[in-house]
Amino acid sequence: MASRQQAGFTLIELLIAIAVFVVMAAMAYGGLSSVISTRETVTAALERSKTLQMAVWRMRQDIEQIVDRPVRDSFGDSQPAITGSPDLGLQFTRNGWRNPLGDIRSSLQRVAYRIDEDDNLVRAYWRVLDQAQDSAPVESTLLEDVSDLEWRFLDGDREWRDRWPVDAAPGAIPTVDPTTGAAQQAQRYAPPLAIELRVTTPEWGDLRLVFMVPGAEK
């Protein structure tokens, strides 16, 4: 009588098959994990790039619409249309403030750029040009983790200055006539030809941006 042929797998064959399956599954998981990790890295890099582009676009929109409109600060002191210093950052008056809701307000806007206590580059604006003591700025963060920031101003002699106006010491702009007590007209200064921003961040390193100022004598 012929012997019956055995069917199925032996224990050794099953162990080998399981081992091969485990290796292939591990390789597939590793490849999938690598793809996911790469996608997350690329997405994060694109978000950082978008943030930088939006910050540059915002600053360009502001600076390229600067107008010669001095203002009064919350203490009643006159301030030039453009002021800048290493300590206080940059502040200026710009045109083109959109008004889609038709509010009763000017199209001019007072804007400031500074570094806050958390090392963020912050943009601030005021809802009024000539401020009262309760006039609070509206702030938004443009760039985070800024390790260094420097503004410079190109004067008519094509020389870079670290503050503006060059010939106005801080607090030297008169606002009241000492004899009559009458308010004086705010002193006006020629705008710089250009404004330069040097900013350093861990993600982007050292960046140098130059913005042309409208109304300056080229």
Domain harbouring 136, CATH code: 3.10.610.10
Residue 124 pairs in a beta bridge with 112, 139
In a domain, 46, yes or no: no
Q: Is residue 19 part of a domain?
A: no
Q: What's residue 63's pLDDT?
A: 96
pLDDT tens-digit series, residues 63-89: 999 999 999 998 889 999 999 999 889
pLDDT above 70: residue 170: no
Phi/psi at 68 (5° precision): -85, 80
User: What are 174's two structure tokens?
Assistant: 């008169």
In a domain, 63, yes or no: yes
The pLDDT score that the predictor gives to residue 28 is: 73
When divided into structural domains, the chain yields a total of 1
Whether 167 is covered by a domain: the verdict is yes
Q: What is the structure's pLDDT at 136?
A: 92
| DSSP codes of every residue in 134-145 | T-PPEEEEEESS
Q: Which amino acid is at 44?
A: A
Domain assignment present for residue 17? The answer is no
Print the domain residue range for 200.
55-212
Q: How confident is the model at residue 25 (pLDDT cuts 50, 70, 90)?
A: confident
Q: What is the pTM of this model?
A: 0.73
Of the CA atoms within 13 Å of residue 122, those in its CB half-sphere come to: 15
Write out the H or E segment, with its range, that includes residue 49.
helix 11-63
Q: What is the pLDDT, as a whole number, of residue 199?
A: 93
